[in-house]
Structure 1
């Protein structure tokens, strides 16, 4: 649930950033979603799910919740980095 809300906010953030800089808005909104979802899914499937499965017998609910949230945080961090290093540099190169 939280991942979907974060994804919508990232798409809007990329849309507005591209609009302010005169770049193609839908392309950049989609790029923001990809920058969020690719690392999010990769981390979730390769790290978080096996880690939570290994902790299943111990039943640490707070730890499993944080591990599951870590994929959203990683996706958000990657989207911020893509915006800073790609979108903003593309706007400067266009000017």
Structure 2
């Protein structure tokens, strides 16, 4: 649930910034969504799930909760880096008039 809300917020964030810069907003909104979900999914499968299994065996409920939500933080961090590197410096594709 929380991951879905963060994904929607990131998509809207990318969309609004792209629209204000005059670049294709829908494409950047989708790029923001993808930049959140791909690392989120990879982190969940490769790191969080095995880590959670070991924490459940130890009975560490609080750590399990943090690890369970860690993929959200990883996805948000990667989306921020995509914004920082690509969208922040994006320029409008308008052709200059001659």
Q: TM-score range by the shorter chain?
A: over 0.9
> In the alignment, which residue of structure 2 is the partner of 1:36?
36
Taking structure 1 as the reference length, the TM-score comes to 0.93
Paired residue total: 94
Runs of 4+ in 1 over 2 A off after TM superposition: none
Q: Rg bigger for which structure? A: 2
Which residue in the other structure is 2:85 paired with?
A: 85
Which residue does the alignment assign to 2:70? 70
So what's the TM-score if we normalise by structure 2? 0.90
| Larger proportion of helix | 1
C-alpha displacement at 1:94, in angstroms? 4.7
Matched, 1:54 2:54: yes
- Partners of 2:93 and 2:78 lie apart in 1 by 23
Q: Does the CA contact (< 8 Å) of 2:36 and 2:79 recur in 1?
A: yes
Q: Tell me the distance in 2 between the aligned counterparts of 1:55 and 1:61.
A: 8
Which runs of 5 or more residues in structure 2 are unaligned?
A: none
Partner residue, 1:11: 11
